[in-house]
Chain A
Amino acid sequence: MIDTSKVVVYPLKDCEYVDLDQGKRVKFTMQKTDKAFPSFIQADSVSSRFATSVAENEILRTFFFLRSTIIPSVDQKYPIGEHFPIILDPSYDVSKKCE
């Protein structure tokens, strides 16, 4: 089970200081593109539930790293579609079919 409190995706604070070993200290601030991430503020949001579900499952985790094509959609509820082409037989050789 993932402890979402350990992960900072969209910080509510402007910055966060973290003390490191040997007396060092770092500060974390938002990147400009962080504005795309507010749907991760709540741990029980749809976005958080999706990401944690994928992270917990090794097959889904791998799947979402496959090569894909992103195609916008006219569907207002689901505006983006990501297409993952797969074939269930890795030994299949399509080039032989054209010979």
Chain B
Amino acid sequence: MSDFEKAKKEKEDERKKLTEEFHNELDAAYFKLLSLVYGDPEVAKALNTGRKPAISKALDNAFKKHEKEMVELSAKFIEFTGYAYQINSYSILSYFIGNIELAQTNSKILSRILNLPSESIRLFSAFNFLASKKVLKVETQSYCIDCYFKYGEEPYFSYSSNFKEMNLPARCPQCKEPGIFHDVIIRYPIGLHKIVMPQTNWLREIIIGYTLSTLPKVKKVFVHKKVHNAPRNASEGKGVESDVSLITEDNKLILIELQLNQI
């Protein structure tokens, strides 16, 4: 296991441990609260009658009788917000560490059409163009791994949504190092969300279909359809599923299959 893998595992284990501790504490507090109220003899007796006014009165009395313990428990619940904050911090760190390799792969793919980081502005312009269409919501989260690993301090983290102009730094605004990772989140609206499913390539099929339709020799494009051989004087074939089918100006048929998000 590499040092990086070890660091990844360590952080994930810490997050899991903290989450488990949090749930145990929370469960214990809830159990104590419920025991106080429902363990009260007056409440137990009222519950047996099944009469709502009697139950309501008994619960009111129980809350008054155990007011001090209730206040103590409430204070405990407030303490839990600290846990929640810490778990959230670990979750963010764990998410970014877990996706570093993915980010590096994506960066290498993007650098085939853009000189990164010098031409980052072209990437931002593309997103500003998309944002101007008002068809979906774009959010970004940025996290500096260098801040975390190199200086061990509270790392740089930022979040933005509904921006008009995307501007992601290539270097961390805090430590000035290049280890700043960005998570670009595309939020798909109702309707469009149906075609963005895990293990499918439907959205990509549509993008390829529209893109290829701009080729001058392409007459028509069918996206995600079944194609049957249909001779005029014989029975039709069962057909095959095709991701993208092109009909060219000279009436040729081209079938295109897309691989599942593979590099």
Contacts and interface: CB of A to CB of B under 8 A. Distances in A.
Interface residues of A, number: 77
Given A85-B182, A86-B107, A53 B133 contact: yes
B213 A67 contact: no
B209 A69 contact: no
Interface in A35-87: 36-40, 45-47, 49-70, 73, 75-87
B113 A62 contact: yes
A95 B3 contact: yes
Contacts of A55: 207, 209-211, 214
B252 A21 contact: yes
Contacts of B189: 46, 77-78
A21 B168 CA distance: 51
Nearest to A91: B178
What is the interface of chain A mostly: helix, strand, loop, or mixed? mixed
B4 interface: yes
B250 interface: yes
Nearest to A1: B214
What is the interface of chain B mostly: helix, strand, loop, or mixed? mixed
Given A50-B135, A80-B187, A90-B111, A99 B3 contact: yes
B106 A85 contact: yes
B187 A67 contact: no
Contacts of A52: 210
A52 B170 CA distance: 29
Given A8-B220, A97-B150, A30 B192 contact: no
Interface of A: 2-4, 6-9, 11, 16-21, 24-31, 33-34, 36-40, 45-47, 49-70, 73, 75-90, 92, 94-95, 97-99
29 contacts: A6-B213, A6-B218, A8-B222, A9-B224, A20-B252, A24-B231, A25-B231, A26-B227, A33-B200, A39-B194, A46-B189, A51-B203, A52-B210, A53-B133, A57-B130, A60-B130, A62-B110, A63-B123, A64-B203, A64-B207, A67-B261, A77-B189, A78-B188, A78-B190, A80-B187, A81-B187, A89-B116, A90-B104, A95-B3
Given A37-B202, A89-B117, 11 more contacts: A59-B125, A65-B109, A67-B106, A82-B185, A83-B184, A84-B186, A87-B103, A87-B181, A88-B120, A88-B178, A94-B104
